[in-house]
Structure 1
Amino acid sequence: MFSTLTFLAVLLTLSTAASLTVHTRNGLITGHTSPNTSSVAEFLGIPFTQSPTGKLRFQSPQHLSGGTRHYIAANYSVDCPDSPNGDVHFPDFTLQAQQVIDYFSANSGTTQGEDCLSLNIWTPENGDEVACADRPVLIFFYGGRFTFGHTDTPVFDGARLAGAEDVVVVTVNYRDNIFGFPGLGAGRNAGLLDQRLAVEWLRVNVAGFGGDPALMTIFGQSAGGVSVDYWAYAYSEDPIVAGLISESGNAKSFPLNTENTTLSNWYNVTETLGCGNTSASLACMQTKNWTDIKAAAAKAPSASSGNPLRSVPAFYPSADNKTVFSNYTALSEQGGFAILPYLLGNNNFEQGYYALPSFKKNVTVTISQGDSFLLNSFTCPSQYQAAARAAHGVPVWLCRYFGNWPNLELYPANSDYPGQVVSEGSGAYHGSDLEMVFGNSAAVSGIPDSSDEDRMIKLMQGAWAAFARDPARGLTRRCLGSIDDMNATQKD
């Protein structure tokens, strides 16, 4: 009897696994039911390029070849090498603050490595099978000032968004820091090229996961939002996607390093590792251990700025006038972007998060500096880019997020650090909107959502999904219902 039951259990397991197996150009990929949402299948850590190691380090990503591999998409891949900010011991932190920050800022102890270029897919399933339908696809690029970031975090788990809105959700690992933005050669902006190759892979394969390749929207937050806007200019003739969403960041949000600074930062690292300061340094650097490169890159100085919140990291996208351009103002005036519907905006108190890394460095951030940072990096760039799109007939929506929920609060108003931006409390800080879009605020904080917070999650998930279903008209059609929902929330 025991043997019979065991045999049947094995058969059932194999049957379920087979039904969650998708055929792709690169072979079979088997996923599993999401532990967070039983109606959603998840496929984790799917490689979409050749491993960027050895002679492919610091180079443009290369397509995978062959189609015979059977990949078991059970776990996230390793994170791309980066340098997160680490713990911040801040006065009056709430009990959940450090956990919320760690999950958001790639500081949760996940493993790093160079073989990291992967994507994760969440798609509705039907009776242990991937539901066949032409669903809209939402493809997410994380932020982190192009210095750190990863997909292996509860913040970006796409199961709840996919299940709530009947969409396909994808998150993409891309190279950052010196590995993604070395600043020279064809791979000077390799991290942005990683994003492009991921979308090209999805164009060919996403139909097998229930997605419509003609209804793909890229969305991103912070550096991810900047990436989305960069995309519009870099691929104006062949954008692949149908819509764009930038949260808290666009092409005009942050300055670029000068060409001299970019090369100086590279040679700072190459000389540290004994590779000299000539064109031969690239080949030499491809032979070094990645951990040594990461350690040396962490010592390269950020560009100075009159506002400590606007300093530019040492390894950051640089203008090649192909993927990144030197004058987005002129390009915007000329309409030099893809004519794609655009949803963009920012949070009401972005500096509520940004003050924390500065505090760790013993840098004082005044209230006026925080206000200036909010205006110059988010509010004004968002308004400018929205106006530029509208002037050229592009459907565009501009939003501002004001949510300030108890379970996501980092520190209260009038914290014990006088004279600083933090006297306002954390408010609607940088990144706090992401828990609404992905629906993971309770999972991230460990504290249940309030009923109003659940309403906001439903509203924002519905808006993002409406845009993805019909980028040109979806939000307009949903608008009246959304306003009614918001009014009900405000009255409660």
Structure 2
Amino acid sequence: MLLRLCTVALVAVAHGAVSISAHPLKVETECGMILGFINTSTPDVRQFLGVPFVLPPTGCRRWLPPAANYNPAAAVNATNFGLSCPQIPLSASTPPNVFTSDGGGQTEFFPRQNFSEDCLTLNIWAPAHPHATALPVIRTQAHIVVSVNFRSNIFGFPNAAGLGEQNLGLLDQRAGLEWVRANIGAFGGDPARIVAWGQSAGAIAADYLHFAFHDDPIVQGSILDSGTALFPQSTRLSNDTAQRNFAQVAAQLGCGGVAAAQIDCLRDASWESIEGLLAANASLSFLPVADSRVVFANYTAQYAAGAVARVPVIIGTNQHELNALDELVPGGNESHSDAVTNATFLCTAAETTQLRQAVGLTTYRYRYDGNFTNISPPTFPGAYHGAELPLIFGTAGQYHGASTPYEDVVSMKLQDLWLAFAQDPQNGLLAAGWAPYGAGVAVLLGDTDTPVKQIDVHELDDGVCVSAALG
């Protein structure tokens, strides 16, 4: 369930020789002119928001793979965020959790409204002033950040009989990467230095792409926060082998007949009616499908075959991931929550790292331990799932009170480390004092006494891969 709550997928891009247009808010791309803006609250940042990177997946294009949107004659007024892809608002979820209004008010993690099926857009933040070299795409005035929308639930992973592609949401992400590679140079970015960054289901998705496109990953490195492709299959892969869930949605909306007829009929239904049905039927689940092309059932075998992108990766988890859910901290029983965290998040991070190590891939490991009151309310204390994100983005003070001076130090340090990795995925962190897993070390981030503390990997991983009841 938790992996359905946070599906952050970001792209970080890097830096080389570059020439920005004389009119930096008018950027010519392969898809036409993009018109951006500068907000007075951030006068050193150019913003290009709501940029379509493929054709809208609406009407007859619902449940089709993303298709390039080349229309050089059109200009895009990129001054407002695009709408979010259809999702079930977390405020409707139970039990209470830190991401809902009744679970501490931390609604900043998830959009409340403004959904649309016409949602496949991306956003670009770039320095306002030209640089002598092309930038990695990620923080400060020395990188570019791109965020990419993608389809989820039944729209992104329909698992419907009669469809050729079931993992549309992952193909959306790949299409976003392809757009960035083709066009980021016009914004001052270096297409040869792109770093993918995902959290939770976004991290799992970024890792999936390492295998699906291992011979052309586009990225030169990835940051995987709280998730890898080895996460327990029960929460990351569909078990609906009979494809009953899609058929049930079709039947309940009056779309009967053979599979092709169901699909054609449902393409005429409003996305609101489909999403409303999912919200009322929690048993209807739509997750990635193991098709042996985009998603695999056995990633250990993929490693053994060498069918994985040979790029450096940061893999991290949070100390108390599942403190975000009331059901896993009954009566404040954090030890139970942590046992489940270790057996899922931490165990699969350790297994992924060891598999990567066996095939000679550079991996940097961390655990985030930050516990700051403006992020972690008393009901959900500690470094829960997603608690690191406001510090990485430098927005912690915009939540529920100002950051402490030490919290600001931790935030800046995390941003510096992520940027060091984006600038040089292979050696940037090593130069910053963070050795790779192969040296026998990992780091604790945001601990009580120091932002970065090096520890022996055995302190982090030993004994975590044990069975635990998830109830």
TM-score, length of structure 2 as denominator length: 0.82
Check whether the contact 1:96–1:407 (CA below 8 A) recurs between aligned residues.
Answer: no
Residues 149-188 of structure 1: pairs in structure 2 closer than 5 A: 161-163=139-141, 166-184=142-160, 185-188=163-166
What's the counterpart of residue 455 of structure 2? Answer: none
Q: Which has the higher helix share?
A: 1
Tell me the CA shift for residue 429 of structure 1: 0.4
1:396 is aligned to 2:363: yes
What's the counterpart of residue 68 of structure 1? Answer: 73
1:458 is aligned to 2:412: yes
Check whether the contact 2:323–2:334 (CA below 8 A) recurs between aligned residues.
Answer: no
1:209 is aligned to 2:190: no
Mapped to 2, the partners of 1:77 and 1:223 lie a distance apart of: 21
What's the counterpart of residue 325 of structure 1? Answer: 296
The code of the aligned residue for 2:217 comes to P
After superposition, the Cα gap between the structure-2 partners of 1:105 and 1:485, relative to the gap in structure 1 and judged at 3 Å, is closer
What's the counterpart of residue 221 of structure 1? Answer: 199
Mapped to 1, the partners of 2:99 and 2:341 lie a distance apart of: 23
Mapped to 1, the partners of 2:362 and 2:306 lie a distance apart of: 13
The code of the aligned residue for 1:376 comes to A
What's the counterpart of residue 37 of structure 1? Answer: 42
Deviations 1:91-122 (A, max 9, x none): 99999986762110333xx3111111000011
Tell me the CA shift for residue 354 of structure 1: 3.1
Check whether the contact 1:60–1:186 (CA below 8 A) recurs between aligned residues.
Answer: no
The code of the aligned residue for 1:404 comes to N
The code of the aligned residue for 1:57 comes to R
The code of the aligned residue for 1:439 comes to G
The code of the aligned residue for 1:269 comes to V
After superposition, the Cα gap between the structure-2 partners of 1:276 and 1:90, relative to the gap in structure 1 and judged at 3 Å, is closer
The code of the aligned residue for 2:197 comes to F
Mapped to 2, the partners of 1:317 and 1:187 lie a distance apart of: 11
Check whether the contact 1:335–1:389 (CA below 8 A) recurs between aligned residues.
Answer: no
Mapped to 2, the partners of 1:335 and 1:44 lie a distance apart of: 38
Per the alignment, in what secondary structure is the counterpart of residue 135 of structure 1?
A: coil
Q: Judge which range, 79-88 or 382-391, deviates more.
A: 79-88
Tell me the CA shift for residue 402 of structure 1: 0.1
Per the alignment, in what secondary structure is the counterpart of residue 245 of structure 1?
A: strand
After superposition, the Cα gap between the structure-2 partners of 1:48 and 1:487, relative to the gap in structure 1 and judged at 3 Å, is closer
Check whether the contact 2:99–2:106 (CA below 8 A) recurs between aligned residues.
Answer: no
Per the alignment, in what secondary structure is the counterpart of residue 211 of structure 1?
A: coil
Unmatched tracts of structure 1, length 5 or more: 1-15, 139-160, 303-312, 413-424
What's the counterpart of residue 120 of structure 1? Answer: 123
Mapped to 1, the partners of 2:146 and 2:195 lie a distance apart of: 10
Check whether the contact 1:120–1:170 (CA below 8 A) recurs between aligned residues.
Answer: yes
What's the counterpart of residue 386 of structure 1? Answer: 353
Tell me the CA shift for residue 480 of structure 1: 6.4
Supply the RMSD in Å over aligned alpha carbons. 3.2
The code of the aligned residue for 2:231 comes to S
What's the counterpart of residue 268 of structure 1? Answer: 248
After superposition, the Cα gap between the structure-2 partners of 1:240 and 1:351, relative to the gap in structure 1 and judged at 3 Å, is same
Q: Judge which range, 384-393 or 277-286, deviates more.
A: 277-286
Check whether the contact 2:366–2:445 (CA below 8 A) recurs between aligned residues.
Answer: no
Identity %: 34
- Choose from 378, 383, 403 the match for 1:411: 378
- Choose from 259, 277, 280 the match for 1:279: 259
Tell me the CA shift for residue 169 of structure 1: 0.5
- Choose from 261, 269, 285 the match for 1:314: 285
The code of the aligned residue for 2:136 comes to P
The code of the aligned residue for 1:386 comes to T
Mapped to 2, the partners of 1:488 and 1:89 lie a distance apart of: 32
The code of the aligned residue for 2:195 comes to T
- Choose from 273, 276, 288 the match for 2:269: 288
Query: How many residues are paired up?
Result: 420
The code of the aligned residue for 1:124 comes to P
After superposition, the Cα gap between the structure-2 partners of 1:409 and 1:273, relative to the gap in structure 1 and judged at 3 Å, is same
Deviations 1:98-154 (A, max 9, x none): 6762110333xx31111110000111112xxx556310114xxxxxxxxxxxxxxxx
1:242 is aligned to 2:202: no
Tell me the CA shift for residue 479 of structure 1: 1.2
After superposition, the Cα gap between the structure-2 partners of 1:79 and 1:100, relative to the gap in structure 1 and judged at 3 Å, is same
The code of the aligned residue for 2:269 comes to K
After superposition, the Cα gap between the structure-2 partners of 1:355 and 1:483, relative to the gap in structure 1 and judged at 3 Å, is closer
Check whether the contact 2:200–2:225 (CA below 8 A) recurs between aligned residues.
Answer: yes
After superposition, the Cα gap between the structure-2 partners of 1:90 and 1:368, relative to the gap in structure 1 and judged at 3 Å, is same
Mapped to 1, the partners of 2:99 and 2:292 lie a distance apart of: 45
Check whether the contact 1:125–1:131 (CA below 8 A) recurs between aligned residues.
Answer: no
Check whether the contact 1:332–1:385 (CA below 8 A) recurs between aligned residues.
Answer: no
Mapped to 2, the partners of 1:40 and 1:371 lie a distance apart of: 40
Tell me the CA shift for residue 391 of structure 1: 1.1
What's the counterpart of residue 144 of structure 1? Answer: none
After superposition, the Cα gap between the structure-2 partners of 1:364 and 1:293, relative to the gap in structure 1 and judged at 3 Å, is farther
Mapped to 2, the partners of 1:300 and 1:92 lie a distance apart of: 19
Deviations 1:183-209 (A, max 9, x none): 132331111111000110011100111
The code of the aligned residue for 2:423 comes to R
Check whether the contact 2:249–2:277 (CA below 8 A) recurs between aligned residues.
Answer: yes
Deviations 1:280-335 (A, max 9, x none): 21111111111111112224444xxxxxxxxxx70111111111111112223433
Check whether the contact 1:122–1:162 (CA below 8 A) recurs between aligned residues.
Answer: no
The code of the aligned residue for 2:326 comes to A
1:346 is aligned to 2:346: no
Check whether the contact 1:132–1:209 (CA below 8 A) recurs between aligned residues.
Answer: no
Mapped to 2, the partners of 1:92 and 1:194 lie a distance apart of: 29
Per the alignment, in what secondary structure is the counterpart of residue 346 of structure 1?
A: strand
Mapped to 2, the partners of 1:117 and 1:24 lie a distance apart of: 17
Per the alignment, in what secondary structure is the counterpart of residue 298 of structure 1?
A: helix
Per the alignment, in what secondary structure is the counterpart of residue 192 of structure 2?
A: strand
Deviations 1:351-389 (A, max 9, x none): 111337x89xxx999656523431232100001111111
What's the counterpart of residue 381 of structure 2? Answer: 426
